[in-house]
Amino acid sequence: MKVKTLIVDDEPLARERLRNLLSAEPGIEILGECGNGIEALELIEKRTPDLVFLDVQMPELDGFGVTAALEGQRMPAIVFVTAYDKFALKAFEVHAVDYLLKPFDRERFQKALGRALDRIKREQSNELGERLSNLVADLRPASKSPERFPIKADGRVLLVKTDEIDWIEAADNYVNLHVGKESHMIRETMSAIEARLPALKFLRISRSTIVNLDRIKELQPMFHGEYTVILHNGTRLTVSRSHRDKLQPLLGKLG
């Protein structure tokens, strides 16, 4: 049985290079090619490839965004195609996820392909997913927050701008992003999404609530040191006593 393979890169010449190399491999079936991360997510869900050659740097939704959106699902073996420097490449090696540094030759390509095929044969999909998540966490700069969140809905992928999120609430193993009159559920923990958001713009006001500070209209004192946050759209949220002090340096002392 051939290994179903997908090529994802926003550069046509890079896709052509990979297509030519993969076409020469008898054990590979090329499912298709994608020029951006949104198309990649749709095709991965539809065709369930065994192996994906995934470009790291793409507009709108990059390679890290694609892997983040796949968390909790069956994770294909992924070989990153990247122009990252040697320092960043060490993270790939530590987590045993292979990569191709542009420009690459046939020998390096075959080495990466061989490693990926070995992993697929050992059926280590769960371990691959965990390693990939760790890799993304290491390579994503701590100071850089995502400008958009990929949301899968009705077979489509929506890109929600971070600035448009009003507030976020916990929902078991998911979080609910409230954006205007709409809400979007994604598989994420509150701690994980809090770490990804810009600290000067979003604040966790309780164990289950994060709020966009730009959306706050009013603060009303309640009993026992708690406060109610009123957003511009009328939504009322409770600031727990344990999180109240976080508001003071940003919004002034609460009394």
pLDDT in tens, the chain (255 residues): 899 999 999 999 999 999 999 999 999 999 999 999 889 988 998 889 999 999 988 877 888 788 877 766 777 888 888 887 664 565 565 444 688 888 899 999 999 999 889 888 776 445 555 566 666 655 555 445 567 888 877 767 888 888 999 999 998 878 999 999 999 888 888 887 887 788 788 999 988 999 999 999 888 887 766 778 899 999 999 888 777 777 665 555 444
d(CA 21, CA 36): 20
Instruction: Answer yes or no: are the C-beta atoms of 237 and 254 closer than 8 Å.
Output: no
How far is the C-alpha of 15 from the C-alpha of 53, rounded, in Å? 9
In degrees, rounded to 5, the angle at the alpha carbon of residue 137 between the alpha carbons of residues 136 and 141 is 95
* Contact in structure between 5 and 49 (CB atoms under 8 Å): yes
CA atoms within 13 A on the CB side of 71: 22
Q: What is the pLDDT of residue 24?
A: 94
Residues 213, 250 contacting (CB under 8 angstroms): yes
State how far the Cα of 141 lies from the Cα of 33, in Å rounded to an integer: 28
- Own/partner contacts of 226-230, CB < 8 Å, gap of 24 or more, are 227/254, 229/205
- Strand ranges of the sheet holding 202-206, from the earlier edge strand across to the other edge: 182-186, 174-179, 167-171, 209-212, 202-206
Which CATH architecture fits 3-139? 3-Layer(aba) Sandwich (3.40)
Neighbours of 26 (CB within 10 A): 6
Which amino acid does the sequence have at 74? R
3-state secondary structure of 247: helix
Residue (of 34, 38, 27, 24) closest to 3 by Cα position: 27
CATH of 148-251, one of 2.40.50.1020, 3.30.470.20, 3.20.20.70, 1.10.1040.10: 2.40.50.1020
Numbered ranges of CATH 3.40.50.2300 in the chain: 3-139
| CA nearest neighbour of 58 among 33, 38, 85 | 38
What letter would DSSP give residue 61?
Answer: S
The answer to whether 23 and 40 have CB atoms below 8 angstroms apart is: no
Contact status, residue 79 vs residue 14, Cβ threshold 8 Å = no
Beta-bridge partners for 206: 209
Span(s) in the chain for CATH 2.40.50.1020: 148-251
Q: Tell me, what's the pLDDT at 130?
A: 58
What is the DSSP secondary structure assignment for residue 197, as one 8-state letter? S
3-class SS of residue 244: helix
pLDDT at 253 (0 to 100) = 43
